[in-house]
Structure 1
Amino acid sequence: MSDVVRWAAFSCVVVPVVLLMCGQSFGGAAGTATGLVALTCVCRVLLRQSARAAARVPAEQAMPHRGRHGRTGAGSHRGARHQSSGNPLG
């Protein structure tokens, strides 16, 4: 991601210089530079959010689904019978 941001920052400098060399007014080149900087900032924020979301998805998939109420294991079902003092049911 940092390479993308570096290239975007580089273009924010190079494009206005080229525009000035081609005869564009200083105001036009400054406006173009401002627009490129704003676009670069928005893209950087979106890239960060995308990277965070992509990192979060595998972590959520690794967690096993525990059911409706989050109970697992034997005897965790509603209405399970409990033995008292080791007597078998029957």
Structure 2
Amino acid sequence: MTKRVFNAESVPLLALGYRFQWEPMQDCYVLLYPEGMVKLNPAAGEILKRISEKQQTVGELIAELKVAFDGADLDEDVYQFLEEAYVNDWIRAE
């Protein structure tokens, strides 16, 4: 098993050069960067919205998402997304 970049105490932050926003013309959240734009699915948008709004640990982020989504078991999905976003250089770990 590969070692994760993120754990419950990690603080994910948007990578430098990226801006997160709602894009009405696309009807979705996007990540803007100098070379273009990444359209985000609803789940990715919810995670990155919280990362862009405030600094919090992954544990706090997951707890907030569980409240927002009626206690859904989404821990593994959040970790998987964070790892993929890190590999794509969208976020960094603090």
Q: Is the TM-score greater than 0.5? A: no
| Higher RCO structure (Cα 8 Å, ≥6 apart) | 2
Structure with a larger share of its residues in strand? 2
- Which one has the largest radius of gyration? 1
Q: Normalising by structure 2, what TM-score? A: 0.28
Q: Normalising by structure 1, what TM-score? A: 0.28
